[in-house]
Structure 1
């Protein structure tokens, strides 16, 4: 029996194995390490992991984060495994702001730097720049990840500084930031207006972002009671396993 080509082993077999086994496989040889670190491998591995049996929960600790699989049939968790952060950070100062297909946008809270981190390959990318792009401030900013029609992973960063609102897009392929237009509305500049990470909601309005045209639009918020405080949350709902977020009344 002829040996399988390395490309077949990596992209047809290893894209279907758990993340922990992918990490071990990177030590086989330099060729495997290079292939397992490519964007193509990460994208395929993540897409094949998007089933209920491959869902994970990440719990951040002091210097590591533990990963526990969700057992959908029993609504329970499997045994945890430890992932050591590959980037230097201080205790309890890492925040996960957004995620997409296994790629996470992380903020180092002591420096406010934004990073892209793949738990699959353990690779990470700092994309802060000397001209202040790539720095995140809680309650003033919002961050979201998306993929365009060219399979380029991008970071959308809405930030408010000294009464000025700017929107910037980072491209992973070209490794650079650029400014894009936003909706002109004075109340979005108010310090009393808070953004939520990955979900862009305003008073009686929801801000939508088209990832292909990279344009914004507003839609009306659903009717709410006229008294009291109401919190709206956007969630993804799977037809077989709906997920809801409970908010105290």
Structure 2
């Protein structure tokens, strides 16, 4: 009679269990607890989960919904009356059915500068939340809602008290080379002769790096617009001043592995405006652009662009143009994201009417109502259930 299974067999059995089951298994005995909380086990389990999702098409997408009495396309999520925001997981497919509801830590409203925390980015099941409406908000938090664990990010070096007024944006991503999750904060001061600095927070190190300056001054167009984390780099829409005094729009990319910045030019025929939005392509391997604009005849349109080969500017391809001849006349659209199957999720804006999320099939050009409405702001990004944060001693349960 066998009284004890070999450790490698136990490891193989645990390795195949879902994240939530593994959390319960940590209470069985000390050896299991130590095995499951090992960083190598956590990373290998994550890779297996991602591979299974790719194999069976069981991808998930997190949807952040802020309720309100009116509908707006503004990405600033402050609303007239603070109400409860909602977080849901949906299957990332044509149906977009609800998978479950998620819970996040509750912050005292009186301690926040914004009425709701903003989702900056999501990576491997880790969600980065920020209270960064203005230069006085320094509440940053990393959460794994599947495990209900969180880590509070310490106050950065560059603040209003240290450098005065400034413009700031923040990004979040994963450095695969070091198995570390990082937050980068880009700051441009408001001096007569401005300078741009950046500082990086490392989850593994638990602290911010010393601020460093960029060789050139640049400014992210709207700090509260969604970022795009692709191929180990965080991307933002930005602009920079040329030597002749003109301004040039481009995509600013920060590579977490090399700790370096680079620029990517937008499509040559791209209609530049402050209402455009950067996104991730459907396959998650490149970047995309959604561009609303007005034609000479005052017709509202949205161009949808994808960089077919990441890093090759000549591969920018316009997939389609949406116009106001959609499901209802007078509608204008704010594209939200691509789904894994290549559809586009959109927020239709009907003046002050309620918004109901739509899904656009780019092949058939058909719209489908998703049955989600009554909110004034939506954010959606790919999500995977994981054990990230389980090995962090400074992570707290909520």
Aligned to 1:172: 203
With 95-104 and 47-56 compared, the bigger mean Cα shift is at 47-56
Which region of structure 1 is more displaced relative to structure 2, 152-161 or 210-219?
Answer: 152-161
1:201 pairs with 237, 241, 249, which one? 237
Structure 1 or 2, whichever has the larger Rg, is 2
SS at match of 2:278: coil
Q: Which residue of 2 aligns with 1:214?
A: 259
Q: 1:150 aligns with which of 164, 175, 178?
A: 178
The answer on whether the counterparts of 1:35 and 1:41 sit within 8 Å (CA) in structure 2 is yes
What are structure 1's unaligned runs of at least 5 residues? Answer: 134-138
Give the structure 1 partner of residue 60 of structure 2: 55
Q: In the TM superposition, what are the counterparts of 1:17-96 in structure 2 within 5 Å? A: 17-50=17-50, 51=53, 52-59=57-64, 66-70=87-91, 72=93, 75-83=95-103, 85=104, 87-90=105-108, 93-96=116-119
Q: Is the aligned partner of 1:98 residue 2:121?
A: yes
Give the number of equivalent residue pairs.
239
> Does residue 127 in structure 1 map to residue 132 in structure 2?
no
2: CA distance, partners of 1:201 / 1:221: 9
| 1:148-177 CA distance string (max 9 Å, x none) | 412222222223454553211122222222
Point out which structure has higher relative CO (alpha carbons under 8 A, 6+ apart). 2
From the superposition, tell whether residues 208 and 229 of structure 1 become closer, same or farther in structure 2 (CA, over 3 Å): closer
Structure 2 residue runs of 5 or longer lacking an equivalent are 67-82, 110-114, 160-166, 228-234, 240-248, 285-339, 350-398
Change (3 A) 1:90 1:221: same
On the 8 A contact 1:224/1:230 being kept in 2, the answer is: no
Higher helix share: 1
The question of whether the paired residues in 2 share the 8 Å contact of 1:235 and 1:243 is answered with: no
Give the alignment's TM-score, normalised by structure 1. Answer: 0.72
Partner of 2:5: 4
TM-score normalised by length of structure 2? 0.49
RMSD: 4.0
Give the distance between the partners of 2:95 and 2:3, measured in 1 at CA: 43
